[in-house]
Structure formats: structure tokens, C-alpha cells
Structure 1
Amino acid sequence: MLDPRSVPFAAQIHPQARPARRLTWDSREAGPDTAFVALPGEKMHGNRFVERALAAGAPFVLTDLDVPRAVRVDDARGALFAWARSERAKNPLVVGITGSAGKTTAKSYAAAALDAHFMPVFNTMPAIACFLVQYGASQKPLVVEMGIDHIGEMAELMDLVRPDVGVVTTIGPAHLEQFGMVETIAHEKGQILTARRALVGSQAAAFFPKAQFPHVDSYGFGDVTFRGEGLELSPQAARFRFGGMGVILPLASRVQAEAAVLGMVLAREAGIALADAAVRMSAVEVPGGRYRLHPGRFTVIDDAYNASPVAVRAALDALHALKPEGEVGRRISVLGRMLELGPTERELHAEVGSYAREQADLTYGVGEFAQELGERAFATVPELLADLLNEVRDGDIVLVKASRGISLTPEQRAVTGVGLDVVVEALLDQRDR
């Protein structure tokens, strides 16, 4: 329980304030077991929602307002972060994971291997702070996804999370509007490797050579420090061995398999039986849109949650590694726009499109860079679907990937070619008729 009378900072505690099980910065999640932190936002202050949280039964609210059940402080954000650091210090093992792609997948497998508490999908600084307050004192390990989109953010995250193990999954062009170039991305994300234990995925290893980073070890397949052996990929599963233990991951790709190698490394170093870690990882289901494979009379790969050049290439590699069923089955890529790539975005889309033509039998592009992304190019999603649904046939494997554009309306997404979850839904609907 989170007792407001035991907070590690000076506060005026309202006599009606009571302990909570959870803590949230989102007033919509406040309730009888969930306290609310009123934080300043880009457009409005959380104080506007304090009454809503109290009406929902929040056990207490962290705020500078004089209201019932208040834990009253001058700076709610500073108080939350101080509380988070205090609780985090009680945990024996915290793993921080960053990278240009594959963070959520790596987090899912690492947490399963360690039997750890882990961050949900939403991983802003306030969300991470609330997570640390809630689970920091647990004797279970913690796995925290530490994504960044601007210079200086990783330094702030490191000060908050202070991971014992720092992991970089991949390095590639993403958020270039803020970072400018890939070397800056590597430098910023690489700050996580100042943790006492540092690991990088096989693709990221080139950015952190042993000669310059002797304390950093690599994991994955091939020429790495800790490698999985005998990787086998099929539409049904990914299989490999690590430390003499077989690992089977249903409906998984090489990306998931590499994340599972990370899980095995972390489990072994934490003294956890590899057999137990392998069993837990075999049951992992990554969130929707992150390489979720839907087999059937034709197979749909839903990787539409988000996209960057390195992530699209990985998805295309996974598509190419799968063998279509029957004599007529084909590998088909459906790609939409990648966001936040800065002034070189057309060139980057063209490079990805060229790679798609090498890895797939038939390529589609939609939106502003449709011509660069696919041999069949369409301005809007409805136009794309009209052709794609008529084209796809039994035995095909169809990959769908693009950036989400979460700030866009459904109509804007249809025009711009971002947020291709509607394409996945249409394909599955047609497949299951």
C-alpha cells in the first residue's frame, strides 16, 4: 500500500487522506484504490482534474491545492519524482531498455524471463515515476522501457530510473527531426550503458565497439558475446538453444528470438533457472501491432503499431524468412509513411522501399511516399484496400507496417498512409469469411 503519511518529502496531509494501492497521473484512472498526481502538462494542469479524481474516490491526491484528501506540496512533479527515486532504491534489480526499435518486445521477454514487474506500453516520465512508486519496494525485479525523442531526455531518465542493467536493442534513424543524425541518437541512447551492467543487441553492437566500450557485451545471434544457437524460423514458431536449453517462441520472428536471448542472459545472471525462464517466455504475447502473426488461409503480420527505417527492415527480414504455403503463395509488404525523419525522409523511404522489393514478392506503398515504398502505390488507404483485398490469395503472407500518427484523425490517417491498423482489420475480416 502507498501510505501518504510515509512519503519521503515534506507535505501537508489532509486527515481524510488514506493509503492507495496504485498511483496515476491520469485522472481517468483514479478510483477507490488509485490515487491521483496533479501534474503540469503542455496544455493544462492536472489541478483541473482533482475534483474529478476525488469524485471517483481517489484515496488521496498529490497537489498544491487545499482540497479534501490532499497530500499538499509546492511542486507535485518534484515530489512524485523524489518518491519514485526513494522507492526505486529499495529494489535489488532494475533493468532499463532503450533503442530505436524493439524496446517493447525486449521488455516483454526480459520481464517474462526474470518474472519481473514491467512498465505498460505508455512510458512517459510521469508514468515511469508512478510505476517506480508502486513497485519499487517489491522484491521482484523491475523492467523499464526508456524511450526518448529529444536530446537530454535520457539523462533525465537515468537520474530517475538508475537501472542496474542498461540495454540498447537497436540504433537507427528515428525522431531525426529532434536528433538530427544517427550518431546523436547513439550518443543519447548510449547513456543507458553507464549502468553497472551493459548489454546491446546484435544490430546496435556496431555503434558501441569493444575497443571503445570494453564493459559492454552484445547478445543475439552470430558474432556476439552471448549468442543463441541453431535459430529456426517458421510461421508457427522461432526455435533456438541457449546454454544448452531449448527455447520455443510461438508465432515469433528473429526480433522476438533476439529479445528472448536477452531474457536468457538476464535470467542466468540473476540466478534464475533457464528452464523456468524459457517456459515463461514461450507464453509471451506482445501488445497488438508489434509483429503479431495471424496464420490462416493467408497469413497477416500485424506490425502496424509504429515504424522507423531500422524497424521496417527488421520486419521485412522477418517476412523474407517465412516460407509461403503452397506453390502460389507470395510474400507481400504493405508499407506506409514513417514519421519524424527530418529533411532526409524521402531518401530514407526510398531506401526502405528498395529493400522491400528485395525481400518481398509484391510491394505496396500508401500515402505521401507511396511511390518510394512500393511498386503498387496508392494515395489513400481506401484506394490501397480496393486493390490489396482483390489481390491477396490463399498461401500469401502479408506484412503491414507504418507509423501510427496518434495525433491524426481517422480521416487524416486514411489520406496520409499512417496508422495502418485498419488495413490489418480488413485483411483479417476477408481471411475469416
Structure 2
Amino acid sequence: MIALWTSSEIARAVGGEAHGDFTVNGVAFDSREVGEGDLFIALKGEATDGHKFVEGAYANGAAGVIISEEVEGPHIRVADTMDALNALGAASRGRTEARIVGVTGSVGKTGTKEALFQCLDRTLPGGAHRSVKSYNNHTGVPLSLARMPAYCDYGVFEMGMNHAGELAALTRLVRPHVAIVTAIAPAHSEFFESEAAIADAKGEIFQGLEPGGTAIVPFDSPHRDRLIAAAEPHAGTIWTFGLGEGADIRAREVARERTGALVTAELPEGELTFTIGLPGEHWVSNALAILGAVEAVGGDLAQAGLALAEMAGLPGRGERRPIPLDGGEALLVDESYNANPTSMRATLATLAQEDAGRRIAVLGAMKELGEQSDDFHLGLAEPIREAKVDYAVLVGDEMKVLAGALHNWVECVHVPDAAAALESLEGRIGPGDAVLVKGSNAMGLAAVVDALAAGKITCSN
């Protein structure tokens, strides 16, 4: 096995002083995630100092650490460990000849990143690398870069932001050959004066494009022209994707099914008919952007089509799991990781397509929506009714206004937290029902998902 980094390579990359000769096969800044042979970077944050966990990292198998204080054991000594993380990420990007894709957007970026990785990994098995989980911020992006093997053929990196200027810094570190914006929605609108300002912030991803790079922009977005204008100074090629007539990457025909869709897509250099293994209109759109990226980096479109057919939802992002019950099971749709007005509507529309005895929706508050929070939460009333939800559990203070609006139309209960949400489901779920759990991550609804999947619920009569 080829080492990811040697101690001398690390020291040279970060401008540090090596103490001990070692090699590493992974990189982490959370000591709990350190595995045998990893490099641990002791970051100093506002809440804690990673130097407190160096001994634990060694105990977990760290081959070496990057520190700014004296420690016992193999290490690289630097003046600032955060600067070292960025430098290591930059060095990793500098040494690779891989084709790099950057992904951002208000919704769909993690799912798009994961599906694109599967498509490229199917093109060249073992040749693709991607950022894990939602490591898409100022620490997660350089960490994901630092973890990329030098011999990769493809790299896929998710980039997020909640303030203007953040993406510009991240994309200049990633230096993508292809940059995708999935969609624009009022996520993090607390920090922006308008949705157009969110589009401008997402458009910063194009600033890091390599010369001659490709920008992939949502055709059906009201912010399409704004994103194209942001891309024009930096991109050699700009492709739009969507369902509308005139998109460069267009779904000409879509046969929608309960568990996915059969799509015939027109691409800049051909046509492809493929199946999407996940339901929802948003996945049709995401798949078009993915295929555009595969074509732009020279991947195999036929293999990408097969990978899209085999997609499964991610934990917290569309994973479908059984709820074991006396006499059978119910369907659990886990969307517990995040929520904004656009993704809520899309997921509720998908729930409406489920062939279920009853449709139950556990919906957590949407965070960081600023002064328009009440309006955005009230705006879910009609999508809930259209989804023919039989019972709604609304979680968190922000959901109170929605509970009032739904009271005369849908059986619902308003509760303060995840624990109360689980209690409200006792005796309410029966075999053949479909249960959607979705909300901002801060609401902690993953605990509800875990309890339901473990069968810790009383079946309805």
C-alpha cells in the first residue's frame, strides 16, 4: 500500500519541523475519528483545543501528529495548526493530476457529490476520491483535500457557505476543473438580504476554476443569468442543465415512478437513457448536473447511467429504512440532516407518491431563515395538504405558526423537541404506513430516526 504522506512530505508541505520518521494513511482533526496509521492535526478552536486530545489520538493508533506545542511521540511542529491544515490541503491539490469537480448549492450538494463519486468510481474503480459526510467548510474542505491520494484520477469536493466570501476562499483551494451549482434556495437567508445575494455567494465557486474549466448552472433557476454572469469571467465552457427547452443538458423525456424515474437526456455530445434509483423531481435535476460533470471530465456516461440506477439514499438525506412493527413494517424516509423551504417542498412531494396506508410527517423547524422565518414555515401548509399527510408532528418553536394554520385541515401536534416527537408517534404508526422525518440538523431528529428503525415504538391498532 502506497502511503498517503510521509513525515518529510508533511513537514515540507506545512513548513514544519519533523520529529520522528513516520508514514500516514489518513488524516483527521477529530481524535475520535483517528484510526491506525492516521495523522492527527491538533486544531485550536473557540470551544476546545485539539492538543488536549493528542494522547487519545496516539492511543487510537495515530502514526504522527501536527502540533504547535511540545508533545511526546512522532510529530510535526508548526506555528499554527490551522495554517498547516490549509497548507497540507493545498499541497495535496498541487501534487495530483486528477480531474477535480467542485459542488455547491443551497440544496442537493451532498447527494450530488455522492452520486457523482459513484459515477466516476464506476468509470475507474478505485480511482475516485470525494469529501466525506458534509465536510464542506473552512476545515472540512482542506481536510478532504489532504486525504486525497496522489494517484487519484478524479476528485469530487462539496463546498458550502453561510456568508459571502467563504466560497471564494474554498474554491481557490480546491481549484476545480468543473464547478456545479445544484440549486438556489432561501437557506441561511438570515445572513443574506435576498435570494439573489445567496446566488451571488454560490456563484463564487467559479472564481477558483482552472483555466478552460466548465461551469454547470441550473437552467430552470430564476437566478440562471446571474450565475452565468458570475461564471463568464472564469469558465471556458458554461453548460446549463434542467427540464426547460434550451438547456444544454436537458431531460427530454421523464417517466416518473414511485421509486425513481426513467429519463432520456440530451447532452452536449450525445443522448443517454438511464434510470434514477431515487424518487423526486429534484433527483432528475441533480442527475443532469452529474452527467454534465461526467462528460466534462471525460468519464464514461454509460457507466454513470448504471451508477445512477443503483443509487440509495444517504443517512439523513433520503435513506429508506423499514420500521419493524407487530404484524409487518412501515417505511421510514430519513431526511433528518437538513431542511430549508425548497427541500421541504420537494420531499413532501415525494411523500405524496408513496403507496402507503397512511402518510405521517415529522417535520422539524428550519433554521437560519431570519425575519421571513414565519412566512417560510407557513408556506409549508399547502405542500403538506397536497402530500395528503394524515398526521403531522411539528417540532420546534418555529413550527408553532404552521401548527395553527394546519389545525383545521390536517391532524397535527406541535411539540418542543425530538424526544416529544417520538412520544407523539406512540400508537400512531401501523404496517404499510410511510413516515417522513425531516428538519434542520439542530433539531436532533436523527434520534427519532434511530428509535423508529430500532422498533422502539408501539404499533397502532
Query: Which of 204, 226, 243 in structure 1 is aligned with 2:249?
Result: 226
CA contact 1:170–1:204 (8 Å) conserved in 2 = yes
Shift in Å at residue 396 of structure 1?
4.3
Shift of the 4–356 alpha-carbon distance from structure 1 to 2, 3 Å rule, reads: same
Q: Deviations over 1:225-256 (max 9, x none)?
A: 20133222323332212354332233433323
Query: Which of 85, 100, 111 in structure 1 is aligned with 2:117?
Result: 111
Shift of the 10–278 alpha-carbon distance from structure 1 to 2, 3 Å rule, reads: same
Matched with 1:342 is 370
Which is further off, 180-189 or 277-286? 277-286
Give distance in 1, aligned partners of 2:422 and 2:18: 58
Letter in 2 for 1:343: E
Q: Secondary structure at the match of 1:23?
A: strand
Letter in 2 for 1:197: T
Give distance in 2, aligned partners of 1:155 and 1:273: 30
Q: TM-score, normalised by structure 2?
A: 0.81
Aligned alpha-carbon RMSD (Å)? 2.8
Query: Which of 28, 31, 44 in structure 1 is aligned with 2:32?
Result: 28
Q: Secondary structure at the match of 1:66?
A: coil
Which is further off, 350-359 or 337-346? 350-359
Shift in Å at residue 57 of structure 1?
3.7
Instruction: Spell out structure 1 runs of 4+ moving beyond 6 A.
Output: none
Q: Secondary structure at the match of 2:98?
A: coil
Matched with 1:412 is none
Shift of the 210–56 alpha-carbon distance from structure 1 to 2, 3 Å rule, reads: closer
Matched with 2:6 is 3
Give distance in 2, aligned partners of 1:281 and 1:158: 26
Which is further off, 285-294 or 419-428? 419-428
Query: Which of 91, 95, 98 in structure 1 is aligned with 2:101?
Result: 95
Query: Which of 274, 290, 299 in structure 2 is aligned with 1:247?
Result: 274
Query: Which of 82, 86, 91 in structure 2 is aligned with 1:77?
Result: 82
Q: Is 2:402 the partner of 1:372?
A: yes
Letter in 2 for 1:168: V
Give distance in 2, aligned partners of 1:394 and 1:256: 28
- In the alignment, structure 2 segments of 5+ residues that lack a partner are 122-127, 323-327
Shift of the 251–11 alpha-carbon distance from structure 1 to 2, 3 Å rule, reads: closer
Shift of the 158–241 alpha-carbon distance from structure 1 to 2, 3 Å rule, reads: same
Counting only pairs closer than 5 Å after superposition, residues 114-193 of structure 1 correspond to structure 2 as 114-115=120-121, 116-123=128-135, 124-135=137-148, 137-193=150-206
Shift in Å at residue 74 of structure 1?
1.4
Letter in 2 for 1:339: K
Shift in Å at residue 383 of structure 1?
6.0
- In the alignment, structure 1 segments of 5+ residues that lack a partner are 406-417
Query: Which of 229, 239, 244 in structure 2 is aligned with 1:217?
Result: 239
Query: Which of 259, 277, 295 in structure 2 is aligned with 1:236?
Result: 259
Q: Secondary structure at the match of 2:184?
A: coil
Give distance in 2, aligned partners of 1:382 and 1:97: 34
How many pairs does the alignment contain? Answer: 416
Matched with 2:344 is 312
CA contact 1:73–1:79 (8 Å) conserved in 2 = yes
Shift in Å at residue 10 of structure 1?
2.7
Shift in Å at residue 157 of structure 1?
0.7
CA contact 1:112–1:280 (8 Å) conserved in 2 = yes
Give distance in 2, aligned partners of 1:304 and 1:135: 29
Shift in Å at residue 28 of structure 1?
2.1
Shift in Å at residue 52 of structure 1?
2.6
Matched with 2:436 is 399
Give distance in 1, aligned partners of 2:429 and 2:368: 31
The structure with more strand, counted as a fraction of residues: 2
Shift in Å at residue 337 of structure 1?
0.8
